[in-house]
Amino acid sequence: MSSQAASSVPVAVLISGTGSNMAALIDAGQTAASGYDVALVVSNVEDAGGRAIAAAKGVQTLSIPHKPFGKDREAHERAVDAALRAAGVEVVALAGYMRILTPWLVRAWEGRMLNIHPSLLPLYPGLDTHARALAARDAEAGCTVHLVTEGVDEGPILGQARVPILSDDTPAALAERVKTAEHRLYPQVLGDFCKGLARG
């Protein structure tokens, strides 16, 4: 194993859908200086588009559907957690993972689980962030990478990127501009975070 590989932190990405941030994280992780490597992609949705993308990039993927667990959210999370541990994962990156986590999983990965949210937190936690930014006539929007804590979209902020809001913007056009910023921000913040962990 090269010294670069030895200092590369194994990361899992949790997705539910398209996986465009996941793809950006994988691509950056496969460059030598990134500080991390995506070792596993887990989806709670069997046919999430991101799984095929990850597989094509040579990353192991797993589908752990939540439906068979019914209302027992923690039981589903214990299955996910077991898969993460079995793969030797040290850091978890949520990327469009459409599950509200129980305190059990949050505590199990406290300080080692990141999320990306499509707004300039603390503005607009939750859904429909772009429509809300437009309705408020904000001059700019953006995205935030933060540590995951028990409050939804509330954890300590690790990095943000800003984009302008244009006079003729629609939520879809704004979403696309923010996504482009997300794909730059998330790999950079995750890389810095993992390099910090590796330094101890």
Residues noted as catalytic: 117
Q: Is residue 155 a contact residue for ligand GRF (CB under 6 A)?
A: no
Contact present, 50 and 43 (Cβ < 8 Å): yes
Considering only 29, 96, 187, 191, the residue that binds ligand GRF (CB under 6 A) is 96
| Residue facing ligand GRF at closest CB distance | 96
Place of tokens 């059990």: 104
DSSP letter assigned to residue 16 = S
Within 66-95, which residues bind ligand GRF (CB under 6 A)?
A: 95
Q: Which is nearer to ligand GRF, 77 or 182 (CB)?
A: 182
Alpha carbon distance 35, 93 (integer Å): 14
The footprint of ligand GRF on this chain (CB under 6 A) covers a number of residues equal to 14
Q: Which residues contact 23 (CB under 8 A, 6 or more apart)?
A: 50, 53, 54, 57
Contact present, 83 and 10 (Cβ < 8 Å): no
Alpha carbon distance 162, 181 (integer Å): 8
Alpha carbon distance 126, 36 (integer Å): 28
Within 124-153, which residues bind ligand GRF (CB under 6 A)?
A: 143
Q: Which is nearer to ligand GRF, 53 or 84 (CB)?
A: 53
Q: Are strands 140-147 and 157-164 parallel, antiparallel or unpaired?
A: antiparallel
Q: Is residue 18 a contact residue for ligand GRF (CB under 6 A)?
A: yes
Considering only 8, 12, 13, 21, the residue that binds ligand GRF (CB under 6 A) is 21
Considering only 29, 35, 118, 155, the residue that binds ligand GRF (CB under 6 A) is 118
Considering only 9, 42, 174, 182, the residue that binds ligand GRF (CB under 6 A) is 182
Report the interface residues with ligand GRF, using CB under 6 A. Answer: 17-22, 95-96, 116-118, 143, 179, 182
